[in-house]
């Protein structure tokens, strides 16, 4: 490996080593590209208490989009990009507002997730790499751990809206939501059929709903 490559790799690792070894915190400077360990730090002299507070989880986001409408769900997240003080600290947080019958569609991410039910009753579950499902009805105050990378879901099974808070052990967990991912792309439909066993009508339907082409 030549010296330039080494310097490049060290530069990418810099935010991580700062955060864990030589500084107390590394509030993200979002004007620079993110590396494997996060963003470079803002000048500490410019920080105030406000940099360490995020009020974006007070209320539902009320964002209207296809996913939220189809699944009757609203989500808000404190991630490095929305709450830059999380940069380098290995965690994030979100709130999920479920309408009656609402669901978080089956999805996965790079890291573990703790679910805390704040209002209502949900069924939460995951499927492990042996294909074994683990799912359970959770009531207010219950928590459940979802191990990293496994497919998982949540459904409001109560008669009232449900509110759930989640924490994940990365400031950027990398959400991949299975059904919309299959629909919102330009992969040829033939390929999607081949690799999913979905039929042509189903592939066309998913592409139409989620804005895919081909």
Binding residues for Mn(2+): 107, 109, 113, 152
Least Å from the CB of residue 74 to ligand NAG: 8
**Residue nearer to ligand NAG on the CB measure, 57 or 150:** 57
Q: Tokens 């009508």 appear where? A: 201
SS percent in the chain: helix, strand, coil, step 5: 30, 30, 45
**Residue nearer to ligand NAG on the CB measure, 74 or 113:** 74
CB 68 within 8 A of CB 60: no
Q: Which residue lies nearest ligand NAG, judged by its C-beta?
A: 59
The region, left, alpha or beta by phi > 0 then psi within -120 to 50, assigned to residue 68 is alpha
Angle, alpha carbons 27-38-128 (nearest 5°): 125
**Contacts with ligand NAG in 8-47 (CB under 6 A)?**
none
Strand extents, DSSP E, the chain = 73-78, 92-98, 103-108, 113-119, 122-127, 133-138, 143-146, 151-156, 162-168, 176-177
For residues 152 and 78, what is the distance between their CA atoms, to the nearest angstrom?
A: 20
Q: Binding site residues, as ranges?
A: 107, 109, 113, 152
Applying CB under 6 A, among 32, 59, 118, 200 the residue interacting with ligand NAG is: 59
Q: How would you list the strands of the sheet with 143-146, edge to edge?
A: 73-78, 92-98, 162-168, 113-119, 143-146
**Contacts with ligand NAG in 62-101 (CB under 6 A)?**
62
**Residue nearer to ligand NAG on the CB measure, 35 or 161:** 161
Applying CB under 6 A, among 17, 61, 72, 167 the residue interacting with ligand NAG is: 61
**Residue nearer to ligand NAG on the CB measure, 46 or 62:** 62
**Contacts with ligand NAG in 150-169 (CB under 6 A)?**
none
* Alpha carbon 92 to chain centroid, angstroms: 9
Q: Binding site residues for oxalate, as ranges?
A: 109, 113
Q: Which part of the chain contacts ligand NAG (CB under 6 A), choosing from 8-16, 53-61, 126-134, 138-146? A: 53-61
DSSP conformational letter for 35:
B
**Residue nearer to ligand NAG on the CB measure, 73 or 203:** 73
Q: Is 55 in the site for ligand NAG (CB under 6 A)?
A: no
The region, left, alpha or beta by phi > 0 then psi within -120 to 50, assigned to residue 141 is left
Q: Which part of the chain contacts ligand NAG (CB under 6 A), choosing from 58-66, 86-94, 106-114, 133-141? A: 58-66
Kindly list the residues in this chain that would bind ligand NAG in the complex (CB under 6 A). 59-62
């Amino acid at each position: 490996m030549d010296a330039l490559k080494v310097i490049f790799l060290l530069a990418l690792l810099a935010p991580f080593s700062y955060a864990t070894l030589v500084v107390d915190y590394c509030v993200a400077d979002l004007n620079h590209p993110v590396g494997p360990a996060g963003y470079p730090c803002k000048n500490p002299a410019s920080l105030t208490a406000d940099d360490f507070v995020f009020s974006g989880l007070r209320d539902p986001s009320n964002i209207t989009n296809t996913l939220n409408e189809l699944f009757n769900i609203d989500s808000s997240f404190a991630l490095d990009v929305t709450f830059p003080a999380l940069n380098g600290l290995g965690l994030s947080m979100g709130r999920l507002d479920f309408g009656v019958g609402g669901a978080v569609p089956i999805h996965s991410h790079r890291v573990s997730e703790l679910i805390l039910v704040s209002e209502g009753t949900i069924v939460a579950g995951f499927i492990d790499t042996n294909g074994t499902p683990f799912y359970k009805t959770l009531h207010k105050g219950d928590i459940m751990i979802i191990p990293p990378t496994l497919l998982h879901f949540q459904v409001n099974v109560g008669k009232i809206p449900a509110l759930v808070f989640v924490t994940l052990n990365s400031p950027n967990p990398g959400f991949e939501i299975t059904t919309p991912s299959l629909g919102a792309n330009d992969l040829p439909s033939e390929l999607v059929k081949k690799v999913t066993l979905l039929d042509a009508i189903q592939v066309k339907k998913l592409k139409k709903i989620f804005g895919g082409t081909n």
